[in-house]
Amino acid sequence: MSEVIAAIATPTGEGGISIIRFSGLDSLSVALKLFCSPNGKPLESLSPHKTHFGSIYDPTTRTCVDEVILTWFKAPKSYTGEDVIEISAHGGIFVSSRILGLVLDHGARLAEPGEFTRRAFMNSRIDLSQAEAVADLISAASDKALQAAIMQLKGGLSKKITRLYNRLLFVLSQIEAAIDFPEEGLDFQKRETSISELKQVHEEISDLINTYKEGKISREGASVSLVGKPNVGKSSLLNALLKEDRAIVTPLPGTTRDTLEEKIRIKDSHINIIDSAGLRNHPEIIEQEGIRRTRSAIENSDLNLVIFDRSQPLDENDDLICNEVHNKPKLIIINKCDLQERWSIEDLKKKIKSNIFLIISAKEQSGLDSLIDAIYSRTINQEKDGQSVFISRERHRLNLVQASASLEKTLASLGSQLSEEFVAIDLIVAINHLAIIIGKSVEGELLDQIFNSFCIGK
């Protein structure tokens, strides 16, 4: 990792400033080849952790490219743990590209996506869960997502996992000592004590697993599907929520042939709204794939808005919808209240069970405020806003689930009075799964997968 990597760290386009960042052992020498005093005089040294005003010169032509502010972050007190140079230039596309080109011509190479953060991880400036929080912070689209990312970046999850890891490691050390020195007359931790400790750790891991839904919604937004038979007003409701004509609306049933996903912001969170193809018996061939995707959306959504048309009689297709969403999270929406009523709420209650029946008109945009409040209350668990640590990535959840399963096997082995060798095997597996979350034990392929999702320059 001694080679110098460089990239433009600010978004592409014109702006007030553009930051060119490079990191590596020879970063300062690269900078001194290009950076001069305001009057164009070459410099022999710079003070670390201070800003310096000067100019970038092309060493070949001795022409000034831009007046800049340069900062040298001396290792190890930098983002990557290496020498880091940041050049704040004027925000023109050509200017920043020209400076980056000079840096690349004089000893650096273009950084790969996420390579700066990867170096911070490899140099132990942050652990793996904190590195993931950097990406979450950049992509945060709501206050909740932002606060969740900051909490994880500050090490909330890392400290929690590390404490659990260390507690399991201590129990393992006692077990392995009993294996290695069985006849030394030493006092080892009693099995009852180990069982009590492992049960406590198992309970804390289970609590952490249970925070996943909340964490995932905070990071990615809740997924809400619009479900109903053809022509009940799903696309009209989507347009009303978006406050724009995003979906095509016609009187013909089956206009929507595929799922259409859009984002809306509700209070301090964002919601992914999915407009789906209408479900009905005996669909046309062209509708079948759309219906398959609708069923997938119903299965995977955090909430389904089940829409019924009050102006048309309830029929077998409404019965089909009721069966599809029977045990799924849902809100019942009675649409087209501006038209003549053909059935009552009591008629609908005989077909589908729910505590909430909302009456709206998507066309006239009446009843939408109550609907929005209901969506928010059903998808954002406000009671857990005080939760100090939670998980938001499937990678974390899977490793915690596997650690939990291994601990259950460990406890079963201890309870069955199996030898320490059998107990240690499953306990080591549990410890390794916790280690993977924070990067104590991780394969290169996983690192590639994580950091390749970053933007270049971060």
Reduced to 3 states (helix: H, G, I; strand: E, B; else coil), residue 383 is helix
Residues of the chain with pLDDT under 70: 1, 178, 180-188, 245-259, 282-287, 381-387, 442-443, 445-446
Measure the CA–CA gap between 296 and 299, rounded to whole angstroms.
Answer: 5
Reduced to 3 states (helix: H, G, I; strand: E, B; else coil), residue 58 is strand
Contact 132, 138 (CB under 8 A): no
pLDDT cut 90: percent of the chain above it = 49
Measure the CA–CA gap between 20 and 457, rounded to whole angstroms.
Answer: 8
pLDDT for position 248? 43
> What's the sign of the alpha-carbon dihedral 93, 96, 102, 108?
negative
pLDDT for position 183? 53
Domain ranges of the chain: 4-111, 133-211+390-451, 221-383
pLDDT digits (tens, 9 = 90+) for 405-457: 999 999 999 888 877 788 889 999 999 999 999 988 766 766 787 787 777 77
pLDDT for position 207? 94
What CATH class is the domain 4-111?
alpha beta
Q: Which CATH code for domain 221-383?
A: 3.40.50.300
Contact 358, 371 (CB under 8 A): yes
State pTM to two decimals: 0.77
> What's the sign of the alpha-carbon dihedral 375, 376, 378, 380?
positive
Burial of 23 (0-12, 13-18, 19+ CB in 10 A): buried
Measure the CA–CA gap between 110 and 9, rounded to whole angstroms.
Answer: 12
pLDDT digits (tens, 9 = 90+) for 284-336: 666 677 788 888 888 889 999 999 999 999 999 989 989 989 889 999 999 99
pLDDT for position 256? 47
What CATH class is the domain 133-211+390-451?
mainly alpha
Q: For residue 9, give the H/E element and its range.
A: none
Burial of 204 (0-12, 13-18, 19+ CB in 10 A): middle
Opening angle at CA 329, ends 323 and 330, nearest 5: 75
Contact 300, 275 (CB under 8 A): no
pLDDT for position 145? 80
Measure the CA–CA gap between 400 and 398, rounded to whole angstroms.
Answer: 5
pLDDT for position 285? 63
pLDDT for position 79? 95
